[in-house]
Chain A
Amino acid sequence: FFQYCLSGHPTLPCNVLKFKSTTIMLDCGLDMTSTLNFLPMPLVQSPRLSKLPGWVLKDGSTFLDKELKECTGHVFVDSVPEFCLPETELLDLSTVDVILISNYHCMMALPYITEYTGFTGTVYATEPTVQIGRLLMEELVNSIERVPKAQSASMWKNKEVQRLLPAPLKDAVEVSMWRKCYTMPEVNAALSKIQLVGYSQKIELFGAVQVTPLSSGYALGSSNWIIQSHYEKVSYVSGSSLLTTHPQPMDQASLKNSDVLILTGLTQIPTANPDGMVGEFCSNLAMTVRNGGNVLVPCYPSGVIYDLLECLYQYIDSAGLSNVPFYFISPVANSSLEFSQIFAEWLCHNKQTKVYLPEPPFPHAELIQTNKLKHYPSIHGDFSNDFKQPCVVFTGHPSLRFGDVVHFMELWGKSSLNTVIFTEPDFSYLDALAPYQPLAMKCVYCPIDTRLNFIQVSKLLKEVQPLHVVCPEQYTQPPPTQSHRTDLMIDCQPPPMSYRRAEVLTLPYKRRYEKIEIMPELADSLVPLEIKPGISLATVSAVLHTKDNKHVLQLPPKPPQPPASKKRKRVSDDVPECKPLKPLLSGSIPVDQFVQTLEKHGFSDVKVEDTAKGHIVLLQEAETLIQIEEDSTHIICDNDEPLRVKLRDLVLKFLQKF
């Protein structure tokens, strides 16, 4: 039982579990923070960005000035942005049997794994996870492919060169492994390998292991996974939430009795309260618009945006914002809004009830109907005609490196009337803003991360009581910037086992039993004996069949009839064939009764002698002697088989067989 850790990012995990004879990949997260090292990709030629000076080394050499540009003291790579892939060398990924996906944010590396490693297995995910995951990938591919960039920088990745670069480029890990974005055909191929599953569906893997997705409460279709055999249970908790937002609540009860609980995907902002952040978001938005400024919300096309739109739906009338247009710009904006309405079964109770009426579960349907919310595939086309200011724009990508958001940053960045409000917690907002500095526009940071915080984790662990907790090393110490906050780490007994990127962990549990089935015919033939009150025993001699990791015990076949022809037998024909399988014996032999029995069976000259440990029973005429002790009986006789067999059977009568 091993766990291979392929990603160092605690909220974008990628682990491989060797459980019994199966190899299971848990999530397939793609670390996109690497893109922060690159220059933004403007949709329209940006004179500012194109005029940035090339970076010059301290010694004055300029050989990198085509690849690296300097902007307000930071150095950026001028190239198509690249992503940091999960580790592919730690184990042969073609041996992975299945991939379990916990939510749509944790599947973004899937095409790299399924299309480039020789993977031939199956991916399991819920329907909303797949549909929304597809939208996220589509948006990603679209926003990168629509800005063709000829240049692909690689010189800076040279280890010798990288050493000379300023931080954070100098410290970037595994830059040689960074890859460009995949293409739509690769996305489609990857998604075609997914098999859809529902919550609490038991999926058998090779007869040896059963996996089950459970609602995790974090996003539409998000799941935790139970990986279990009959005797071991591993819970994989990834991206869970106890807050009541739109998804179905988290299923905690099913996590009980775990031998090992792998805990990933906790909140990235443990100090911020999501409700408070939403309030701040609304008030900052209102204030900016009232002052005639525009609001930019860099976001993903699904997830928190549904909750924000719902809050705004309740808020705009009371805040006097009814006439302010809301724009949602993404190549998948329409799809995302439509899809959100059809997953009734994956929603929280309140939203389900609405569907029964039947009404759309999310109020953004009404915002669209009343023209308060408009969605466009991009800034080009209809949007440029409809566009009215002041307004609120929701668009991606939250890294501010590609997508329509780049255009709005360039457009609105110079005016202090405007505000950019960061709600997605995946990227440091200061790093995201770095290539846009100096900025006049206001920046507000309202990260909304509904995933578990450490207080909730310790409550959860107390509740479900796993024997062992396994988590990324980041969770076993306070955050580096707040080293005094010892409350911001996992606290449990025994202390959690931690892992880091490219590490292999041996999981602590010991199996003692396995399931086996006794066929009805065999069961009928068993003779149980009550040995102690409430405990019965039966000796079982049977044939073991093992197929597809399932074990079955059957009645032994009847011995074949000896062949009718009476050929002369050779001696060796008589050699006993099966290994003799005699039961173990237990009990002791009461000498007096034994002697009586002997006499009953015609032995007239029985004589008993006492010894230090027991007795010796002598049959004088037969020159036979039987030593009887507490735990042993020894029959010593001449080679008189009938006599020996007779004595044997008489002794056996007094003993229990096992």
Chain B
Amino acid sequence: LVCLCFHPGAGQDVGRSCILVSIAGKNVMLDCGMHMGYNDDRRFPDFSYITQNGRLTDFLDCVIISHFHLDHCGALPYFSEMVGYDGPIYMTHPTKAICPILLEDYRKITVDKKGETNFFTSQMIKDCMKKVVAVHLHQTVQVDEELEIKAYYAGHVLGAAMFQIKVGCESVVYTGDYNMTPDRHLGAAWIDKCRPDLLISESTYATTIRDSKRCRERDFLKKVHETVERGGKVLIPVFALGRAQELCILLETFWERMNLKAPIYFSTGLTEKANHYYKLFITWTNQKIRKTFVQRNMFEFKHIKAFDRAFADNPGPMVVFATPGMLHAGQSLQIFRKWAGNEKNMVIMPGYCVQGTVGHKILSGQRKLEMEGRQILEVKMQVEYMSFSAHADAKGIMQLIRQAEPRNVLLVHGEAKKMEFLKQKIEQEFHVSCYMPANGETTTIFTNPSIPVDISLGLLKRETAIGLLPDAKKPKLMHGTLIMKDNSFRLVSPEQALKELGLAEHQLRFTCRVHIQDPRKEHETVLRVYNHLKGVLKDYSVQHLPDGSITVESILIQATAHSEDQGTKVLLVSWTYQDEELGSYLTSLLKKGLPQSTA
């Protein structure tokens, strides 16, 4: 009944995501990201946190990857092949398709270009991907008999998903990165009212409430247009998949409309491939693109051409999309170094940059950068930041909480100060507990689930039939016996329980002698008693039987003359233990005597 959350990775740090959740005895690792800002051991999560002795495969029931960004899946081959994990890894189809390509790309930069050793190999990426099980949206995947997971659409990037993890009545939802507003190529994240015990939400933009998308787009186009008009070059560092496609669609339609001639390039390698993925996984894009793809596929660009290194030195204006997005390595960094010295040029950062990257430095105003070999690079080009990265802003996070109605919220993947603000807001508005653990910290959340049992249909029908009586104001008590046997719980009627266990019922009966002063004949006394009881016990079935006895429900009353005193009658009141209260009440009622002669 405890939900344990533990972060060898994420938590108050946008660097990388890796969260361990223990729910009802099951251990699930959520994402397996690496930190882009480090080049040493710190880039991978410390998996010895998870289990010191024993294999990860034995400890973890499954691993879930939310989307293909490296800060969510970059450490996966290291984790599965170098540390060692052979259990199932779940991700959506597009993520499964794209993830190995980004991993290979990243490996090439690190090993082939920077010459690092002690890194995962191509073969390891392949072996790792063999352990991946692809899931559909909304498919309930039964990991084992008790543990089930379900993916929801998250927007953000192609194939991004939020995951519900469920064991019995207890559940956790992990959002990964998500986006609550549709953009030019993806739809908005959506989840049903699944009321998880815990919602683990990213909070990259915890305090930001971004202005309308349209304004940002107009702003972006204006800046690009102005730079190109004055003959400058525009560098847009992007990751190959995601924002790149959105901005390409934006520029493509703008170029078409304005009839612009300046070339737009997309750095080679991944580009064409990337667009292919979008074409083949078009069901994951937004409705508009999906509806019109037969007539016009939005990912076939007319104005955007493949980039060649030599083009960087070409005179005249141009726009270049280059990878990677944080200017920490590769082609985007090369082009940046070439163009940085010219104030006519512009670099537009369309997304978040992790601390330690060149992108982060120039965004925080640094204009003199120390490059490799102590060389100082002076940045004269204009530096612009535009938040196009598709994370939910504060409004979006609140919206998701409203949709899912969690009992607890846990914020990860954000900066402490901003998260604190959001935490207060969440606690105020939704009256749920909100946690924001630090890196490596464990959060324990107690859940108190109700227990499902099997109720015999006979008992249930009997009870619902009683419940249908007009007097619905008073809650009716239902009485049953819970049989607990081999972990199965069954609620049956007491009679059935006795029968099943082969036990006989023991009848406990009481018979009380009540003395009444009444000189009349016996049958007249009985009649008086009958009238009296009928008058008082309006809600009960009181009957006068032909043999001279009276019944109140199943209680039997018989009258005999007193052996010695003719003026006294003896009433024998007899009831079983099940009628104890009524029987006891009747004797005390009769003891008070009969009302003086009723008319």
- List the A side residues contacting B511 at CB < 8 Å: 634-637
- List the B side residues contacting A575 at CB < 8 Å: 536-537, 539-540, 585
Is B549 in contact with chain A by the CB < 8 A criterion?
Answer: no
Is B483 in contact with chain A by the CB < 8 A criterion?
Answer: yes
B277 touches A655 (CB 8 A): no
B510 touches A582 (CB 8 A): no
- List the A side residues contacting B585 at CB < 8 Å: 574-576
Residue in chain B with minimal CB distance to A623: B513
A651 to chain B, nearest CB (A): 6
Bitwise, B470-486 to A at CB < 8 A (1) or not (0) is 00001111111111111
A512 touches B457 (CB 8 A): yes
B498 touches A358 (CB 8 A): no
- Bound CA span A557–B538, Å: 25
- List the B side residues contacting A630 at CB < 8 Å: 504
B509 touches A576 (CB 8 A): no
B281 touches A342 (CB 8 A): yes
- Bound CA span A584–B578, Å: 7
B509 touches A633 (CB 8 A): yes
Indicate the member of A341, A344, A539 with the most B CB atoms within 10 Å. Answer: A344
B300 to chain A, nearest CB (A): 12
- List the B side residues contacting A201 at CB < 8 Å: 136, 138-140
B476 touches A543 (CB 8 A): yes
- Bound CA span A511–B460, Å: 12
Q: Which of B277, B454, B467, B512 contacts A637 (CB 8 A)?
A: B512
- Contact residues of B between 486 and 512, Cβ < 8 Å to A: 486, 490-491, 494-495, 497-498, 501, 503-512
- Bound CA span A520–B107, Å: 51
Residue in chain B with minimal CB distance to A651: B508
B274 to chain A, nearest CB (A): 9
Bitwise, A576-605 to B at CB < 8 A (1) or not (0) is 111111111111110000000000000000
Q: Which of B134, B454, B497 contacts A537 (CB 8 A)?
A: B497
B294 touches A528 (CB 8 A): no
B96 to chain A, nearest CB (A): 7
Are A588 and B136 also in contact (CB < 8 A) when A514-B454, A580-B579 are? no
A635 touches B509 (CB 8 A): yes
Is A612 in contact with chain B by the CB < 8 A criterion?
Answer: no
B483 touches A648 (CB 8 A): no
Is B524 in contact with chain A by the CB < 8 A criterion?
Answer: no
- Contact residues of A between 488 and 521, Cβ < 8 Å to B: 511-520
Is A553 in contact with chain B by the CB < 8 A criterion?
Answer: yes
- List the B side residues contacting A635 at CB < 8 Å: 508-511
Are A572 and B536 also in contact (CB < 8 A) when A534-B486, A633-B506 are? yes
- Bound CA span A511–B587, Å: 44
A463 to chain B, nearest CB (A): 19
Is B582 in contact with chain A by the CB < 8 A criterion?
Answer: yes
- List the B side residues contacting A516 at CB < 8 Å: 452-455, 460, 491
A342 touches B282 (CB 8 A): yes
Q: Which of A343, A358, A542 contacts B273 (CB 8 A)?
A: A358
B484 touches A537 (CB 8 A): yes
Are A127 and B485 also in contact (CB < 8 A) when A583-B479, A587-B506, A632-B508 are? no
- List the B side residues contacting A528 at CB < 8 Å: 482, 484
A533 to chain B, nearest CB (A): 10
Residue in chain B with minimal CB distance to A655: B506
Q: Which of B195-203, B302-310, B410-418, B443-451 lies on the face that meets chain A?
A: B443-451
Q: Which of A512, A571, A574, A655 contacts B508 (CB 8 A)?
A: A655
Is A317 in contact with chain B by the CB < 8 A criterion?
Answer: no
Are A543 and B453 also in contact (CB < 8 A) when A580-B579, A636-B511 are? no
Is A13 in contact with chain B by the CB < 8 A criterion?
Answer: no
- Bound CA span A589–B507, Å: 11
A517 touches B485 (CB 8 A): no
Is A57 in contact with chain B by the CB < 8 A criterion?
Answer: no
- List the B side residues contacting A518 at CB < 8 Å: 450-453
Q: Which of B280, B457, B494 contacts A658 (CB 8 A)?
A: B494
- Bound CA span A552–B467, Å: 14
Is B591 in contact with chain A by the CB < 8 A criterion?
Answer: yes
Is B588 in contact with chain A by the CB < 8 A criterion?
Answer: yes
Is A523 in contact with chain B by the CB < 8 A criterion?
Answer: yes
B20 to chain A, nearest CB (A): 26
A534 touches B507 (CB 8 A): no
Q: Which of A335, A537, A585 contacts B294 (CB 8 A)?
A: A335
A215 to chain B, nearest CB (A): 10
Q: Which of B96, B451, B455, B498 contacts A513 (CB 8 A)?
A: B455
B124 to chain A, nearest CB (A): 18
Q: Which of A74-82, A261-269, A388-396, A638-646 lies on the face that meets chain B?
A: A638-646
Is B527 in contact with chain A by the CB < 8 A criterion?
Answer: no
Are A342 and B293 also in contact (CB < 8 A) when A515-B452, A544-B467, A632-B507 are? yes
A544 touches B280 (CB 8 A): no
Is A324 in contact with chain B by the CB < 8 A criterion?
Answer: no
B451 touches A197 (CB 8 A): no
B481 touches A538 (CB 8 A): yes
B558 to chain A, nearest CB (A): 13
Is B337 in contact with chain A by the CB < 8 A criterion?
Answer: no
- Bound CA span A546–B461, Å: 12
Is A177 in contact with chain B by the CB < 8 A criterion?
Answer: no
Residue in chain A with minimal CB distance to B1: A520
- Bound CA span A342–B94, Å: 12
B134 touches A345 (CB 8 A): yes
Are A557 and B475 also in contact (CB < 8 A) when A334-B294, A538-B482, A637-B513 are? yes
Bitwise, A259-284 to B at CB < 8 A (1) or not (0) is 00000000000000000000000000
A644 touches B506 (CB 8 A): no
A631 touches B456 (CB 8 A): no
Residue in chain A with minimal CB distance to B449: A520
- Bound CA span A517–B491, Å: 10
Is B514 in contact with chain A by the CB < 8 A criterion?
Answer: yes
Are A358 and B97 also in contact (CB < 8 A) when A581-B479, A588-B506 are? yes
Bitwise, B258-289 to A at CB < 8 A (1) or not (0) is 00000000000000010011011111000000
- Bound CA span A551–B537, Å: 33
A578 touches B280 (CB 8 A): no
B481 touches A539 (CB 8 A): yes
A526 touches B514 (CB 8 A): no
- List the B side residues contacting A540 at CB < 8 Å: 478-482, 491
Q: Which of A335, A543, A552, A636 contacts B450 (CB 8 A)?
A: A552
Offer 7 A-B interface pairs, CB within 8 angstroms, sorted by A. Answer: A516-B454, A520-B449, A520-B451, A535-B484, A544-B478, A580-B582, A631-B507
- Besides the known contacts A523-B451, A541-B478, A632-B509, 14 further A-B residue pairs in the complex with CB atoms under 8 A apart: A198-B136, A334-B294, A517-B452, A535-B501, A543-B478, A551-B460, A580-B579, A581-B479, A585-B577, A586-B504, A587-B506, A631-B505, A634-B511, A658-B494
> Sorted from nearest, which 9 A-B pairs have the closest CB atoms?
A580-B581, A632-B507, A658-B494, A584-B494, A198-B136, A358-B276, A356-B97, A516-B455, A201-B138
Residues of A within 8 A of B (CB): 127, 197-202, 212, 230-231, 334-335, 338-339, 341-345, 352, 355-356, 358-361, 511-520, 523, 526, 528, 531-532, 534-544, 546, 551-553, 556-557, 571-572, 574-589, 630-639, 641, 644-645, 648, 651-652, 655-656, 658
Residues of B within 8 A of A (CB): 93, 96-97, 134, 136-141, 169, 273, 276-277, 279-283, 293-294, 448-457, 460, 463-464, 467, 474-486, 490-491, 494-495, 497-498, 501, 503-515, 536-540, 577-582, 584-585, 587-591
